[in-house]
A and B are shown apart, each in its own frame.
Chain A
Amino acid sequence: DVVMTQTPVSLSVSLGGQVSISCRSSQSLVHNNGNTYLSWYLQKPGQSPQLLIYKVSNRFSGISDRFSGSGSGTDFTLKISRVEPDDLGVYYCGQGTQYPYTFGAGTKLELK
Chain B
Amino acid sequence: QVTLKESGPGILQPSQTLSLTCSFSGFSLSTSGICVSWIRQPSGKGLEWLATICWEDSKGYNPSLKNRLTISKDTSNNQAFLKITSVDTADTAIYYCAREGSRTFAYWGQGTLVTVSS
* A and B assemble together: yes
B108 an interface residue at 8 Å Cβ cutoff? yes
Contacts of B105 in A (CB 8 A): 39, 41, 49, 51, 94
Contacts of A97 in B (CB 8 A): 103
CB within 8 A of B102: which of A54, A94, A101, A105? A54
Give A36-52 as 1s and 0s: 1 = Cβ < 8 Å from B's Cβ atoms.
01010100000011110
| Best-surrounded residue of B37, B47, B60, B100 (most CB of chain A within 10 A) | B47
Contacts of B46 in A (CB 8 A): 92, 103-106
**Interface residue SS majority, chain B:** strand
Instruction: Classify chain A's interface size.
Output: 20 to 34
Residues of B61-116 at the interface with A, using a CB-CB cut-off of 8 Å, are: 61-64, 96, 100, 102-111
Contacts of B109 in A (CB 8 A): 48
CB distance from A75 to the nearest CB of B (A): 19
Give A62-86 as 1s and 0s: 1 = Cβ < 8 Å from B's Cβ atoms.
0000000000000000000000000
With an 8 Å Cβ cutoff, the count of chain B residues facing the other chain is: 23
CB within 8 A of A39: which of B104, B107, B110, B111? B104
Given A48-B96, A100-B64, A55 contacting B102 (CB threshold 8 A): yes
Is the pair B47, A94 in contact by a Cβ cutoff of 8 Å?
Answer: yes
Residues of A87-112 at the interface with B, using a CB-CB cut-off of 8 Å, are: 92, 94, 96-97, 99-106
Nearest 9 pairs between A and B by C-beta? A96-B103, A101-B49, A54-B104, A48-B108, A37-B103, A100-B62, A103-B47, A39-B104, A99-B60
Query: Interface on A for B, CB 8 Å cutoff?
Result: 1, 31, 35, 37, 39, 41, 48-51, 54-55, 60, 92, 94, 96-97, 99-106
Starting from the known contacts A48-B111, A92-B46, A92-B47, 16 additional A-B residue pairs (CB-CB under 8 Å) come to: A37-B103, A37-B104, A41-B47, A41-B105, A48-B109, A51-B105, A51-B107, A55-B104, A99-B62, A100-B61, A100-B62, A101-B37, A101-B49, A102-B49, A104-B46, A106-B46
